[in-house]
Amino acid sequence: MTSPSDLGASIAESFKFVSNVSTECEALLKLTNEEVSQMLVEPDVKEIHSASGEWMLSYQENDTGWLNTEFAASLALKQGRKKKPSGHVFVQISLMGCGIDALNNFEPLIHVGWWHDPIVFGETYMGFPIECGGDYQVELEEGVLFRWTHRAAADEWCYSLRLTDVNTLQDVKNLVVGPLKHLLLGKPVSEVLVGLPVVRYAPLKSDPGQFKVAPRR
Amino acid sequence: MLQAFARRKSRLYQRYLGHREPGEHKVSEEDEITALVMGPLEYLPQDAQVLVWRTILEWHQPHPPLPFPSTAVKDTQIHFWPRNTIEPDMVVELEWVCGTRRVILVEFKWNAPLSGQDQLHRQWKEFLSDEQRKHAIHLFIAPETSSAINAISDSDIWGGRLIRRSWPNIISSLLDLRFSPHRGVSVWSVQVIHFLKLLRLDGFQGFNHLQAPPRINQDSTTIFFRRKRE
């Protein structure tokens, strides 16, 4: 039985910890936005994609509105001289909730991807089980990249990282910016993601849309 | 006020983290932070002012655009929120005895996005005269600087003279000024670093340094942390 004083101390320590985690998450999102924007002006990327407007932020609160449990930033990209955006790159940080609810996953995740629409929690966001069916089909490539196909839209994709694997600017470059750039340029997943400490998934045949996470290597 | 924050005499900085007094709706965060951080520069000697701007603009830049000369300073002027058809946050005019002149057009951002996607373009084109633009540098300081990157991507009218600095980057460059022989610069840099850290602007430090709270096992009598007995 935990004593009231131990419980109280644990609550205080936990809230301090949550506050520190949220500060790092906000800083990580800002750093990621800046580095991705910088990547988009590199000559080989700029030939194909360029930013259209500003980063859009979205926050998911817990049920009581006390805590932000998920954060996301999305940036519209346009191709060539077209005025209309062709899609959005996004980074979604999920600390709890459906964004991390893949089977056997107990850790916060970062989802990095390219979707037609920006992340707006409550409407469009990465979460488990993944909604599919109808015109949308989701496939898992090499166990690491979700790829959606839709008969009316260009393909969309997303991969995941464990939050605690990203601790430095170099991690942001190696695990977010680099792979995002190469995937945007159409390089194969086997060249881009395999070998990196990204989350490895396996589909559950008994539960369509749900995926099981492999343990860390 | 920087002194009050440094000596923990005031928590007024919390207004920049979203805290509001009862009945208070609008806080001019960007203007207040601009005045708090940059205001004291106006009281510093001219060569000290130049040292600060040189550090911010040229820190870790092997080939800065329009580098400052090493000759003596002749004149410095700082204008806060100067207005003609458009109002940047600051304009700094520097002149050296060798005749070199620089105009630094400064735009600060805190939480707000740019005022229109072309705000930086308009400042550069409309605020400065053709003559000023020849020796001008546009400095954008924000929590993160993707807006300036996007502005360059939209239309690069600066030719390498739109300088981006995130607030974490400003902290890093000011760390070098803590040991400046100019007493005023040294005191100012220490106080500004402290203030920016209070606003959690010291950038991404990673998660692996965080101390996780102890887990409580409800079914166990194990004590994970124990207070010292009196």
Q: pLDDT (tens digit, 9 = 90+) per residue, A33-84? A: 989 998 998 889 988 888 888 899 999 999 898 899 999 999 999 887 777 8
As to burial, measured by CB atoms within 10 angstroms (0-12 exposed, 13-18 middle, 19+ buried), residue B147 is buried
Quickly list DSSP for B33-101.
Answer: HHHHHHGGGGGS-HHHHHHHHHHHHHTT-SS-SSPPPSS-EEEEEEEES--SSS--SEEEEEEETTS-E
pLDDT, one tens digit per residue, over B43-53 is: 999 999 999 99
pLDDT of B226 above 60: no
pLDDT at B229 over 50: no
Task: Kindly tell me if the per-residue pLDDT of A132 is higher than 50.
Answer: yes
Shortest CA distance from B215: residue in chain A? A10
ipTM field: 0.91
Instruction: Say if B2 falls within a structural domain.
Output: no
SS3 A185: coil
Q: What is the pLDDT of residues B39-81, one digit of tens each?
A: 999 999 999 999 999 999 988 777 888 889 999 999 999 999 9
Count of the separate structural domains present in chain B: 1
Higher pLDDT, B208 or B28: B208
Say what the pLDDT of residue B202 is.
81
Q: How far is Cα A78 from Cα A82, in angstroms, rounded to an integer?
A: 6
pLDDT (0 to 100) of residue A143: 96
| SS3 state at A113 | strand
Decide if pLDDT at A113 tops 50: yes
pLDDT at B203 over 90: no
Closest listed residue to residue A93, CA positions, set A156, A148, A29, A144 = A29
Is A6 at the interface with chain B, CB within 8 A? yes
* Residue A1: per-residue pLDDT: 67
Of A26, A55, A168, the CB nearest to B146: A55
The amino acid that residue B141 corresponds to is I
Q: Is the pLDDT of residue B217 over 80?
A: no
Give dist(CA B199, CA B31) in Å, integer: 15
Residue A178's pLDDT band (cuts 50, 70, 90): very high
pTM flag (> 0.90)? no
Residue B17 with chain A: CB contacts under 8 Å = none
Residue B61 CB partners (closer than 8 Å, separation 6+): none
pLDDT of A217: 79
Q: Decide if pLDDT at A206 tops 70.
A: yes
Interface mutation vs chain B, best among A10, A32, A37, A56, most B CBs within 10 Å: A37
Domain count along chain A: 1
Q: Given CB atoms, is B48 within the 8 Å cutoff of chain A?
A: no
Contact (Cβ atoms closer than 8 angstroms) between residue A37 and residue A50 = no
**Percent of residues, chain A, with pLDDT higher than 70:** 98
Q: B93 in a domain, yes or no? A: yes
Residue span of the structural domain in which B83 resides: 29-198
Residue B214 lies in a domain: no
Q: Do B166 and A30 touch (CB under 8 A)?
A: yes
Confidence of residue A154 (pLDDT cuts 50, 70, 90): low
Q: Does residue B58 lie in a domain region?
A: yes
What average pLDDT does range B124-139 have in this prediction?
93
Parent domain of A154: 4-213
Distance from CA of A23 to the nearest CA of B (A): 7
If one compares A166 and B19, the residue with the highest pLDDT of the two is A166
Answer whether residue B145 is part of any domain. yes
The predicted model gives B24-44 an average pLDDT of: 89
pLDDT at B25 over 80: no
pLDDT of residue B230: 39
User: What mean pLDDT comes out for the span B10-15?
Assistant: 84
Instruction: Kindly state whether A18 is in contact with chain B, defined as any CB-CB distance less than 8 angstroms.
Output: no
User: Would residue B117 count as lying in a domain?
Assistant: yes
What is the average pLDDT value for chain A, to the nearest integer?
A: 91
Tell me how far apart the alpha carbons of residues B107 and B203 are, in angstroms, rounded to a whole number: 20
Quick check: B144 contacting A, CB < 8 Å?
Answer: yes
A135 contacts A150 by C-beta, under 8 angstroms:
yes
Residue A98 is given by DSSP the state G
* A64 reaches B (C-beta below 8 A): no
A&B contacts, CB < 8 Å? 98
Give the CATH number of the domain where residue B167 resides: 3.40.1350
- Res B20: pLDDT: 82
